[in-house]
């Protein structure tokens, strides 16, 4: 498995390590729940250096790179980012990604680790002119997340520069630039920091020395993202699921050309075969991915993500229901059962609900560092 630049530090901090997308990652340092609470109440620091990053330089419109993604790149303002998809010809989601417009002829693509190689090949193939570089192996990424994150970051930057939601700045650090974006995966106010590997240890130690900051692992991160209803690529999204089925059509711009557009246009006419739903379990049991969803004696769907919600003190999950048992019609099927494994005698009672599960997040509070 691949190791992140801070691998030895995580071992020194007695992190419980695990595997994710071919990487050794810290699952937790003290406990998953305490790290979850740290992020919800103060500031948590995550090492997310497994993510993939590509730099594009060139004429965006002439290059052909627009066709590779579902959102208008040319319409992204400089200093802002957008969420979108790379699709196959059937409209299935190969990967979801963030696109940062550094200037009018320079972009940063941030992709998921499991799809890094295929994403790079697709983007590379799409361009007829311009330059695309995979900088993943020399780029680290740490996330500082929590309601007090902007106070901590303002001390680090020693400035009053405003970073709007989904905006970013390039910050001079020891003669080089690091990119700091106001984005995240937790539902809390937070920032993602992209930097050369050689700086990640010193910056991590600077943040972690702050009294309000503690490290958090992938276990807490998974609960945090699921409570917000955020998808996990490879589980909630894959190449058999379209953005329309996932309820994410707002991240697809049908006024432009992109791979998979024809399939999505046809799907809009005919209707989807399945739709993503969220549900709360009536106990603390965790609905595992792959568990089947039943209504009465009929199988109507499958769980794709599940966890224990520390906020609700119960199991929560995401899954897909077959059409026509989809919102709003699925409200008639709110009293569902989830079969544990292959044992139809063991059933978890659950109810379909609206997202997010957690509605008290600090994500959009304030407009930047000093606001």
Question: 336, 295 in Cβ contact below 8 A?
Answer: yes
Give the pLDDT score at 161: 76
As given in the structure block, the two tokens for residue 104 are 């009018």
Alpha-carbon gap, residue 90 to 239, rounded angstroms: 8
Give the pLDDT score at 248: 98
Out of 3.30.1360.10, 3.30.1360.120, 3.10.350.10, 3.30.70.260, the CATH code matching 2-50+137-227 is 3.30.1360.120
For the chain, the structural domain boundaries read: 2-50+137-227, 53-115, 273-353
Give the pLDDT score at 371: 40
Q: What is the CATH number of domain 53-115?
A: 3.30.70.1400
Alpha-carbon gap, residue 29 to 15, rounded angstroms: 4
pLDDT tens for each residue of 223-248: 999 999 999 999 999 999 999 999 99
As given in the structure block, the two tokens for residue 225 are 């993202």
Which class is domain 273-353?
mainly beta
Give the pLDDT score at 330: 56
Residues (pLDDT < 70) of the chain are 159-160, 324-334, 366-371
Q: What is the DSSP string of 175-201?
A: TEEEEEES--SSSSSEEEEEEEHHHHH
Give the pLDDT score at 341: 80
């Amino acid at each position: 498995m691949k190791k992140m630049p801070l691998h030895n530090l995580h071992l020194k901090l007695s992190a419980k390590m695990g595997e994710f997308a071919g990487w050794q990652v810290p699952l937790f340092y003290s406990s998953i729940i305490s790290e979850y609470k740290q992020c919800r109440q103060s500031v948590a620091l995550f090492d997310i250096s497994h993510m993939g990053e590509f730099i594009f330089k060139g004429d965006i419109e002439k290059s052909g790179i627009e066709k590779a993604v579902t959102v208008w790149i040319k319409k992204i303002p400089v200093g802002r980012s957008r969420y979108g998809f790379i699709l196959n010809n059937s409209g299935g989601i190969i990967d979801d990604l963030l696109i940062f417009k550094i200037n009018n002829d320079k972009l940063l693509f941030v992709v998921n680790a499991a799809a890094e190689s295929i994403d790079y090949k697709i983007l590379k193939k799409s361009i007829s002119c311009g330059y695309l570089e995979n900088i993943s192996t020399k780029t680290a990424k740490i996330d500082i997340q929590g309601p007090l994150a902007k106070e901590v970051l303002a001390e680090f930057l020693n400035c009053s520069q405003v970073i709007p939601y989904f905006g970013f700045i390039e910050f001079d650090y020891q003669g080089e630039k690091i990119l700091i974006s106001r984005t995240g995966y937790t539902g809390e106010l937070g920032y993602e920091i992209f930097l050369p590997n050689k700086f990640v240890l010193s910056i991590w130690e600077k943040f972690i020395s702050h009294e309000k900051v503690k490290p958090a692992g992938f276990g807490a991160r998974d609960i945090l993202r699921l409570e917000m209803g955020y998808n996990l690529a490879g589980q909630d999204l894959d190449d058999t699921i379209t953005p329309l089925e996932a309820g994410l059509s707002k991240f697809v711009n049908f006024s432009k050309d992109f791979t998979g557009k024809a399939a999505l246009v046809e799907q809009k006419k005919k209707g989807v075969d399945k739709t993503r739903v969220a549900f709360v379990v009536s106990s603390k049991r965790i609905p595992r991915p792959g568990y089947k969803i039943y209504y009465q004696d009929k199988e109507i769907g499958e769980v794709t993500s599940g966890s224990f919600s520390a906020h609700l003190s119960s199991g929560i999950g995401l899954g897909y229901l077959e059409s026509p048992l989809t919102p709003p019609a699925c409200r008639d099927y709110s009293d569902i059962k989830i079969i544990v494994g292959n044992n139809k005698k063991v059933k978890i009672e659950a109810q379909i609900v609206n997202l997010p599960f957690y509605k008290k997040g600090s994500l959009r509070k304030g407009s930047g560092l000093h606001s």
